[in-house]
């Protein structure tokens, strides 16, 4: 269980990326290559645990989450009166992006706490 929790940020972003890709494909029939790239990069991050890339991914995703929370508030303010749709936008927007912000902070902390990168050949077998 503790080992799974160590990869919680990456697993959360893999889940969000898969949801994003499936939702775009179901809604419009187009493949979202950016979402697929996010899933792939997080998968590679789980395998190699690169300290520098984890720090960079955490910062990019954290800034994107802050931006999307601001976008959620702007969308809420565009409603003339508080309706069910407006409240749903806030609940789902903050329900997705506040945990994403926390997970990105966890990713940054894990990267800064790490002493060294894993070796590049961690998946190879040597004789």
Helical axes 8-28 vs 84-113, angle rounded to 10°: 140
Count other Cβ atoms within 10 Å, centred on residue 114: 15
Please give the Cα distance from 100 to 13 (Å, whole number): 8
Instruction: State residue 49's pLDDT score.
Output: 87
- Count of the separate structural domains present in the chain: 1
pLDDT at 124: 56
Calculate what percentage of the chain has a pLDDT beyond 70: 91
Domain membership of residue 127 (yes or no) is no
Torsion of CA 93, 96, 98, 100, to 10 degrees: -140
| Domain extent at residue 33 | 2-113
In-domain check, residue 84: yes
Dmax over CA atoms of the chain, in Å, equals: 69
Asked whether residue 118 is domain-assigned, the answer is no
Instruction: Say if 8 falls within a structural domain.
Output: yes
pTM of the entire predicted model: 0.86
122 within a domain of the structure (yes/no): no
Residue partners of 23: CB distance under 8 A and separation at least 6: none
Instruction: Flag whether 17 is in a domain.
Output: yes
pLDDT in tens, the chain (127 residues): 777 888 999 999 999 999 999 999 999 999 999 999 999 999 999 998 889 999 999 999 999 999 999 999 999 999 999 999 999 999 999 999 999 999 999 999 999 998 765 555 555 555 4
Indicate whether 9 belongs to any domain. yes
Q: Is residue 126 part of a domain?
A: no
């Amino acid at each position: 269980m503790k080992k799974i929790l160590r990869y919680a940020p990456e697993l959360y972003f893999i889940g969000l990326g898969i949801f994003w890709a499936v939702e775009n494909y179901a809604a419009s029939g187009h493949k979202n290559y950016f979402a697929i790239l996010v899933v792939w990069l997080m998968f590679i991050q789980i395998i190699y645990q690169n300290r520098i890339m984890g720090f960079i991914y955490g910062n990019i995703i954290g800034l994107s989450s802050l931006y999307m929370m601001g976008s959620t508030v702007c969308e809420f303010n565009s409603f003339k009166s508080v309706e069910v749709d407006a409240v749903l936008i806030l609940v789902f927007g903050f329900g997705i992006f506040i945990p994403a912000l926390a997970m990105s902070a966890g990713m940054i902390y894990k990267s800064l706490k790490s002493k060294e990168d894993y070796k590049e050949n961690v998946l190879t077998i040597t004789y």
